[in-house]
Amino acid sequence: MQTTPVEFFSEGERISALWRAPDDAAEPLRTIVQGPGWLGLKDAGLYVRYHEALVEAGFGVLVIDYRGFGDSGGARELSPRRQLEDLVNAVTYLTTREGVDADAIGVFGTGGTGGGNAILLADADPRVRAAVSQVPVSDGTDWLHRMRSESDWLAFLGELEADRRVRVLTGEGRRVHPREEIMVPTAERRTTKVKADVDDRIPTDVSLAAADEILAYRPIDAARRLQTPLLVIGVEGDATTPTDHATALYEAARGPRRLVMQRHTTHYAAYDQYWETVTPLIVDWFDRYVRGTNVAVTSSDVTGGEVFDIMEVG
């Protein structure tokens, strides 16, 4: 697998990315784009084994640092709205690369907003032919609420309202640690080493206004419109990204869909425990649906109303 640092621009700001491709790539390449998960970075070791499997299957992979993260330019802020813009621009960048099949692009996202962003991109950009969303967030308000007791939740809402008033009067609000004061880490998150290689490089000082964007974060609304083939991967009894977020996204999707539920594990342990089982399912999904084609034939179960197959020809 070749790994090459590349750059492009998103809304005028520089995006740093990694391009991964087979050593002896047959062209044009089908390609998967990935934006990292919640506070993740492009060079996280966690992602490499997924990329290796995709590259071995003949795909190229483009993984980016969002604006404000890692090696990308822009203010060190947390903004799902800007992240979606970055992903759309990443797709456009792929269409400029020689050796990429612009008619065969998919999206992979894992980890909270990483999984949710994959669905948002698939809904927003018709150039995306298939999506894989692993341990996603479907509703930002519900996600932040369920991290807190009811009294803590009400206090948090009060802090947000007070900060909005300050921002209106002064132009600047509070700065907070996104992992400690927007998200509330679980006990597992505080001890896991899954993301230890990038944890010390994430933004630790962002505007509290970022929480307003998380409250408005609604991949579930995108899923209800989504005709793009969608594979959702969840964890049963997930304390970090609730299991019913994954199932809700699967149930809402209108196109070809599949739900993979990992059992007898936890959110972070599942990455190591089941990657050998889950990764081939990811590769198979993209292999089936990310194909350049001139003719597409869609089949559906009219009685049940569930689309179950797409055959592409030529």
What is the fold, at CATH topology level, of the domain defined by 2-139+219-313? Rossmann fold (3.40.50)
Q: How many CB atoms lie within 10 A of CB 212?
A: 15
The separation between the first and the last C-alpha atoms of the chain, rounded to the nearest angstrom, is: 28
Give the number of C-alpha atoms closer than 13 A to the C-alpha of residue 189, restricted to the C-beta side: 16
pLDDT tens by residue, the chain, 314 residues: 999 999 999 999 999 999 999 998 777 999 999 999 889 999 999 999 999 999 999 999 999 999 999 999 999 999 999 999 999 999 999 999 999 999 999 999 999 999 999 999 999 999 999 999 999 999 999 999 999 999 999 999 999 999 999 999 999 999 999 988 999 888 877 887 676 777 788 888 999 999 999 999 999 999 999 999 999 999 999 999 999 999 999 999 999 999 999 999 999 899 999 999 999 999 999 999 998 776 767 666 544 555 455 555 44
Tokens of 164: 């909005």
Does the pTM surpass 0.85? The reply is: yes
Q: Maximum distance among all alpha carbons in the chain?
A: 60
Return the pLDDT at 312. 54
Q: For residue 9, report the phi and psi dihedrals to the nearest 5 degrees.
A: -120, 140
Q: For 239, left (φ over 0), alpha (ψ -120 to 50), or beta?
A: alpha
| Long-range CB pairs of 252-255, under 8 A, 24+ apart, other chains included | 252/220, 252/223, 252/224, 252/226, 253/223, 253/224, 253/226, 254/224, 254/225, 254/226, 254/227, 254/307, 255/226, 255/227, 255/228, 255/229, 255/230, 255/307, 255/310
Within 8 A by CB and 6+ apart from 245, the residues are 136, 137, 138, 139, 142, 143, 220, 234
Could you tell me the residue ranges of all domains in the chain? Answer: 2-139+219-313
Distance (Å, whole) CA 35 – CA 131: 12
Residue type at 95?
Answer: T
Distance separating alpha carbons of residues 133 and 156, to the nearest angstrom:
29
Question: Coil, helix or strand for 16?
Answer: strand
What are the structure tokens assigned to 112, written together?
Answer: 């909270």
pLDDT at 197: 75
